[in-house]
Amino acid sequence: MTDDFPNLLSAGSIGPMQLRNRIVMAPMGDRLANDDGTVSDRQANYLEARARGGAGLLLIGSVAVSYPSGAYAPCQTAISEDRFVPGLAALADRVHAHGARLAAQLVHDGANSLFDIAEGRPMLVPSKPPRLRPDALSAMVTPSEMAAMIRPFTTPTTATSYRVAEADDIAWLIDQFASAAVRARRAGLDGVEIHGGHGYVIDSFLSPALNQRTDEWGGSVANRARLLCEVIAAVRGAVGDDLAVWCRINAVERYRDHGETPDDLVEVATLAEEAGADAIHVSAATDAGAALGVTEAHTPHEPALLVPFARLVSARVDIPVITVGRLEPEVAEAALAAGDADFVAMGRKLLAEPDLPNLLAAGRIDDVRPCIYQYRCIGNIFLNEPVGCVANPATADGDEPRLPATDSPKQVLVVGGGPAGLEVARLLAQRGHGVVLAEAGPRLGGTLTLAAATDEPLERFRRWQIRQIEQAPVEIMLGTAITPLIAAGLEIDEIVVATGGRWLPPDEIAGDRWADADPSTFTLRTIADLSSWVFGDGDGDGDEAVGHDVVILGGGKIGLSLAGLCARRGRSVTVLEPGEVLAPELGPPGRFRLVHDTEQLGVRLITGAAASERPDAEGRHQTVISTMCGPDRSLADELADLLAPLGRPVHVIGDAAGTGRLEAALADARRLAQSI
């Protein structure tokens, strides 16, 4: 056992609930329930994996106290009727079997009840909300994403209307929460979190921007907090002292005038404590029309952004405080040691690595698969899809190590040591196959070799992949270019080609205007060229190789990351993207953040770009970097021509097959490893 995380891994309690450590799986809407609101097998596998992985407490996110009214979708987990209890009880048994505790985050979605919109029901609100006005950046979505996002608004029964809560509605709402808590206790859950944040119905009463009432439910902080406090009191009265009861509230509301403030947070927290809450979970909210809001609120891009707010509450209440928001284990440990909070909620990290707590306890922090902040998790929820993760394609399907062992071990040659090749080699070895990994270059990592300079989380993922393959029973051959004759001489049963795509030179993309006719222009065409500049190694000319003006062809994730790197090194940078959407491989919140941050560095971003839009270098040294990539099956085809007739199948995955992004490459690798 390690002594590196004495606070994070120490036991603790919230009310009557005893926890083995201070790691809480943050409540996240997962869209994994059945379409009748009951717990699905897939959802149970997903949650059990995090219990098996060592988390102290799992929170089922967004459990509807009213269903279908007041819910965001048919697949939202519900607890509004007795019929939901058996599934929750079975889930609790599975979680408890691994020593973890289980709680439900109770919510009524209020003005976020997309299911009500789809079926034409009025949404319950304290006051009629202002019209949603998305900003310009929010429109940077692909046509398929837009279709998915507006799906609830396109049903034959769609209607948007509101029901301003009257006394009977408020009494009914309070009773719904209390009844839901009773069912949670009957199901064997250990606690309930009352969701008073993120714009849901209780928060809409708390927010001065959304609550325009002049009666006892509006106006002062105490009046606006009355619903939350009465819900807490009613829940406590219904379940007694043997169930932990706490609430999640906002520290701030981003991009909303006259919203909740840190002063409100402290007052609401003290009122919640007086009402009987066992803990306070400090989060943040945002106006839904602000593209950057999510990454500055409950799912922050800036590490530890919300910890100072937890510190404010910790100084004023005598009950535990839970903090959340991009907290690496070392940072979480420091926050607990400083007394800023008592528990740390981790969402994205436990999606990427369900075994994170156990690995920390075993002193194996380098084996924790890192979150790479691509925002596929919450991005999928935006698109009305189940939760996902770029780094871990198995996130929603349970624990990855449970891949079945093979009944017929084979010898497999994997050609290419980029992310797809590393992943398929690791998984094949995990299943019991003999694996040889051949990489033509001097290092493993492929395109991720650029991550050290362009994106630190991706560099951590590259190191993680390499560490896993070095620890696996895989024979690694660096500097080894595989030809059909070499492959034919190896004792192998199957071959996987993961050599990456072909980086398209500028003149091939857009004609002679992009050729290197001008001596002031130098074109980087390959990963090797880029690596030489980024790392100053190989035969490149180092920093002098890249001119004052940089033109990047392709506005995907790698294009924007390289643009940021060039801008930080003092270059004038223009990105030309033929399509209308930049970084389409990222989940929408992460895309919005990356585009904004890149523009803030002074990078000129041009979408719908044509060849005629090449900026004039005006006599200055200009460098053109192509980040556009096409499939390259040439080696695979040569291998197949020679080896397939001999009964040695050849498979192609990743960019070599035209996949075109990390998420799909890793998913390709997993599917293939399962099939061999």
Q: Tell me which long-range contacts 368-371 makes (C-beta under 8 A, separation of at least 24).
A: 368/329, 368/464, 369/461, 369/464, 370/457, 370/460, 370/461, 370/464, 371/457
Q: What span, in angstroms and rounded, lies between the C-alpha atoms of 59 and 68?
A: 21
Is the predicted pLDDT of residue 537 greater than 60, yes or no? no
* Least confident piece of the model among 19-28, 393-402, 642-651: 393-402
pLDDT at 602 over 90: yes
Average pLDDT on 311-340 reads 98
DSSP assigned state of 515: S
pLDDT at 461: 96
CB environment 473-500: b (16+ within 10 A), e (fewer)? ebebeeeeebebeebeeeebbbbbbbbb
pLDDT band, very low/low/confident/very high, at 540 (cuts 50, 70, 90)? very low
- Range 487-493 average pLDDT: 92
CATH 3.50.50.60 fits 503-630, yes or no: yes
Annotated catalytic residues are: 200
Tokens linked to 102 = 């289980």
Give the Cα separation of 173 and 539 in Å (integer): 69
196-225 pLDDT tens trace:
999 999 999 999 999 999 999 999 999 999
- At 541 the pLDDT is 45
Structure-derived torsion over alpha carbons of residues 398, 401, 403, 408, reported in degrees to the nearest 10? -170
Question: What residues pair up with 102 in beta bridges, in sequence order?
Answer: 58
Read off the pLDDT of residues 402-427 as tens digits, 9 standing for 90 and up.
678 999 999 999 999 999 999 999 99
Centroid of chain to Cα 380: 9
Whether the pLDDT of residue 547 is over 50: the answer is: yes
- Rounded to an integer, the average pLDDT of 451-457 is 82
Quick one: which of 365, 352, 342 has its CA closest to 5?
365
Does residue 190 surpass a pLDDT of 90?
Answer: yes
What pLDDT score was predicted for residue 495? 97
- pLDDT category of residue 538 using cuts at 50, 70 and 90: very low
Map residue 583 onto helix, strand or coil: coil
Q: Judge contact between 585 and 556, C-beta under 8 A.
A: yes
Separation CA 120–CA 116 (nearest Å) = 6
Within 396-516, residue ranges assigned H as helices are 419-431, 451-454, 456-471, 484-488, 506-510
Q: Domain residues of the chain, as ranges?
A: 12-133+143-397, 403-501+631-675, 503-630
DSSP 334: H
- Residues sharing a CB contact under 8 Å with residue 664, sequence separation 6 or more, in sequence order: none
> Between these two residues, 396 and 257, which has the higher pLDDT value?
257
pLDDT of residue 506: 73
pLDDT of 53 reads: 96
- Which H or E run contains 209? none
**Contacts with 645 (C-beta within 8 Å, 6 or more apart), sequence order:** none
**Homologous superfamily (CATH) for 12-133+143-397:** Aldolase class I (3.20.20.70)
CATH architecture of 403-501+631-675: 3-Layer(aba) Sandwich (3.40)
Q: Which of 608, 603, 613, 597 is nearest to 137 (CA)?
A: 597
If you average pLDDT over every residue of the chain, what do you get?
A: 92
Q: What's the start-to-end Cα distance of the chain, in Å?
A: 37
Q: From 192, 169, 167, select the one nearest 182 (Cα to Cα).
A: 192
- Please compute the mean of the pLDDT values over residues 525-532 and round it to a whole number: 65
Strand partners, 630: 502
Least confident of 116-120, 192-196, 494-498, 511-515: 511-515
The fraction of the chain above a pLDDT of 70, given in percent, is 92
CA distance 327 to 458: 16
Mean pLDDT value of segment 53-67: 98
Angle between helices 307-314 and 262-275 (to 10 degrees): 50
- What local confidence, expressed as pLDDT, does residue 644 receive? 87
Tokens of 670: 């997993």
Residue 611 has pLDDT above 70, yes or no: no
> Tell me, what DSSP letter sits at residue 450?
G
Look up residue 673 and give its DSSP letter. Answer: H
What is the pLDDT at residue 235? 98
Give residue 610's pLDDT band: very low, low, confident or very high (50, 70, 90): confident
Residue 118, pLDDT score: 95
Dist CA 328 CA 344 (whole Å) = 10
111, 285 Cβ separation under 8 angstroms: no
pLDDT for 514 beyond 70: no
Closest CA to 495 of 443, 438, 456: 438
Structure tokens at 85: 């209890």
pLDDT of residue 402: 67
Residues 6+ apart with CB under 8 A from 212: 126, 127, 218
Q: Quote the pLDDT of residue 519.
A: 58
What is the four-CA torsion angle of 474, 475, 476, 482, rounded to 10 degrees?
-120
DSSP state of 520: T
- Going by C-alpha positions, the residue among 287, 291, 294, 289 that lies closest to residue 133 is 289
> Does pTM top 0.75 for this prediction?
yes
549: which residues sit within 8 A by CB, 6+ positions away?
Answer: 571, 572, 573, 574, 615, 617, 620, 621, 622, 623
Lowest mean pLDDT among 23-32, 240-249, 601-610: 601-610
Residue pLDDT, tens place only, 222-236: 999 999 999 999 999
> What pLDDT does 345 receive?
98
Over residues 600-627, the mean pLDDT reads 81
pLDDT band at 327 (very low <50, low <70, confident <90, very high): very high
**456-471 helix and 419-431 helix, angle to the nearest 10 degrees:** 30
